[in-house]
Every structure is written in C-alpha cells, then in structure tokens.
Amino acid sequence: MNIVGRRNWYFLLSLAIILPGILSMLFFGFRLGIDFAGGDQFNIEFKQPTQAAVIQREMDTFNVEATVQQAGPNNVLITTKPLGTKEETAVRDDLNKKFGGTVASSAFVGPTIAKELVVGAGALILIASILIVAYLSFRFNYKFAVCAILALLHDVFVLTGVYSILGKIFNLQLGEINTLFVTAALTVIGFSVHDTIVIFDRIRENLRQASRLTFEQNVNLSIIQSLARSINTSMTVVFVLVALFLISPQNIKGFTLALLIGIVSGTYSSIFNASPLLVVWRRLDPR
C-alpha cells in the first residue's frame, strides 16, 4: 500500500470536503444556539402528543421571534429572543393553561454573557493549540508540531464547515453552534493530536533505526504499521458514539454528532494528511 505516493489525491479529498464548508461559513455563517446568540429556550413537555406547528401558531401571538421544533412526540423546543420575567411567566402560564404543557428544562442567556462565550471559545482553541505545538516541538521537532496542528485545523474546518452547512443550508437544529459544540470541538482537537502523535511516534522510532529506506518510504511504512491500531481505536470510539447518538435526547444529539464527525475526520487527517505533509515539507526543504 502506498499512501504517501497518492498523497495528492488524499489532499484533494480533504479539500473537496473543506471548501464547501468554508464557502458556507463565509456566505451563511452559523446557526447560533442561545448561549451564543442570547435568548430564552424552553423544552416543554405535554401530556399528549402535540404538534410543533400548533405551538408555533400559539407562540406567534406573543411576538417574541419564537421558533418551535418538535423534540419528541410529547415534546417541543421553543427558542425566543431574551424575555423579561413577565413575558416569560406569561408564555409558561399560557402553554400550561391551553395545552397542559410543563417546562422540562429551560435556559436563558443574556446578551452580555453571549458575547463573552464567543470570545472565550475562540481563545480556548488558540491557547490549547499553542501549548500543544510547544509540547510537540519539545518531544519531536517543530516540523512535526506544525504538521500535527495543520491536521488539527483540517479537523476543525471539516467540523465547523459541516455544521455551517447543516445549520444554515439544511436549516437543521442539529447544526446549532452552542457551548456543547465547543466542548466537542475541543475534544476532537485532543483526539486528533492523540491520533497523529501515535503515527509520528512510529516515524520517530523508524528514523532512529539505521535503514536503507528513504524518508518517504519510512513515513509510508510507519503509517501502515500503525494502521491497524488507528482503525481499531477509532472504530471502538465510533461504536460508542453511534450508540450515544442514537439514544441521546434531542438537546445533545448535535454534541454526539459533532464528536462523531470529528473523530472520523481526525483519524483520516492523521493517516492521510499529517504524515504525508511531513514528506511534502521534507521535499521542499531537504535539510
């Protein structure tokens, strides 16, 4: 198997997935959850099956920019602009009186908090990346570190791009960007680097042993030697996540889906992007 030799095809595949995502991010942006946009959200539970459309019509009378989504046969999820205490009580009382709905959960995020969270999430990813580069430069060298971070950025772009498309073009609530999504993105970063390091470790080890292999052959060998491990580990995590995704309630489905996409992308990028990039760099700068 010659993975490094076909690297341009693999880079192309990555681009084919990332480019639409980047375009979608540029032109449409993200579907922001209330923790970033600010607002009120209620998960209302009814005693009998209730259609979201019915509740939407009722909520429209309040004029609070409400969107209502089905969250289960007896459940709807209502999202509104930030409400005052009086408005909020009015909505709750109305839904309770007319439809017998009770609040299973609710969240309110004021506009000031929302802004802080956006800044915070970006900063977290940046700080974590910088520290990881520092550690990898110490353990390997800066070329390895930069390639690991490029693979990491690949995963972040795949993830955010897919979510931009899901949330904005397909208009799915699944594609919402919220605090849980940020948690998922950070997990993916951890996992992606984890995966890349395992292969890099193999390259480091093979390079130390005197052999007649060229750098390129060496990298290819290391990838293939690590392949069973990469796929086995990812498969077990993917199994667990698919199980989680299928049984998780609506409000954390987006979270598990993000983890799933990120883990698959992370496995791909460490095999097909990170190590071949080392080879590209070596060719451009053979020192």
Partner 1 sequence: MRVDRRLLFVIGVIALLALFIDGFAYVYRAATNQPLTGSMRGVPTLNIGFLGFSQQIYVHRGLDLQGGTHLELEITQVRSGTPVREARDIAVQIVERRVNSSGYAESVVRPEGDNRIIVELPGVNLEQAKQILGKTSYLTIWEWVPGTADAKTLQELNPTDANKYQGFKPQFTNIDGSMVTSASRSTDPSTNLPDVQFSFNSKGSDLFCTLTRDRVSHPQGQPENKIAIFIDKDLVEDANVQSEICGGTGIITGGFTAASAQALAIQLNSGALPGTINLVSSTEVGATLGASTVKLSLLAGAFGLAIVILFMLLYYRLPGVVASLALLLYAAIALAIFKIFGVTLTLAGLAGFILSVGMAVDANVLIFERVKEELRAGRTLGAAMEAGVHRAWPAIRDSNISTLITCFVLYFFGAPLIKGFAITLAIGVLVSMFSAIVTTQQFLQILAGLRPARRLAFYGVQAPKAA
Residues near partner 1 (CB under 8 A) are: 35, 43, 45, 85, 89, 92, 102-110, 112-113, 117, 120, 123-124, 127-128, 131-132, 135-136, 139, 179-180, 182-183, 186-187, 189-191, 193-195, 197-198, 201-202, 204-205, 225, 228-229, 232-233, 235-237, 239-240, 243-244, 247-249, 252, 255, 259
| Measured CA angle at 70 (ends 65, 74), to 5 deg | 120
The nearest distance, CB 106 to partner 1, in angstroms, is 4
Would you say 269 and 11 are in contact if contact means Cβ atoms under 8 Å apart? no
Question: CA Rg, the chain, in Å?
Answer: 23
Chain-centre distance of CA 125, in angstroms?
12
Nearest by Cα to 75 from 109, 112, 108, 41: 41
Q: Does the CA dihedral 146-118-104-43 come out positive or negative?
A: negative
The first and second tokens of residue 254, run together, are 């987006």
Q: How far is the CB of 158 from partner 1 (least distance, A)?
A: 18
Q: How far apart, in whole angstroms, are the C-alpha atoms of residue 60 and residue 68?
A: 10
In terms of CB distance, is 22 or 32 closer to partner 1? Answer: 32
Least Cβ distance, residue 266 to partner 1 (angstroms): 12
For partner 1, the closer CB: 56 or 137: 137
Q: Which is nearer to partner 1, 15 or 252 (CB)?
A: 252
How far is 180 from 182, CA to CA, in rounded Å? 5
Nearer to partner 1, 24 or 267 (CB): 267
What is the closest distance, in whole angstroms, from the C-beta atom of residue 19 to partner 1 in the complex?
Answer: 27
Q: Cβ of residue 26: shortest distance to partner 1, in angstroms?
A: 27
CB closer to partner 1, 11 vs 245: 245
* H-only helix segments in the chain: 7-28, 34-37, 52-60, 85-99, 111-139, 142-164, 179-208, 215-247, 250-268, 275-284
Minimum distance of partner 1 from residue 165's CB (angstroms) = 24
Residue in the structure block whose two tokens are 């796929």: 231
Nearer to partner 1, 217 or 225 (CB): 225
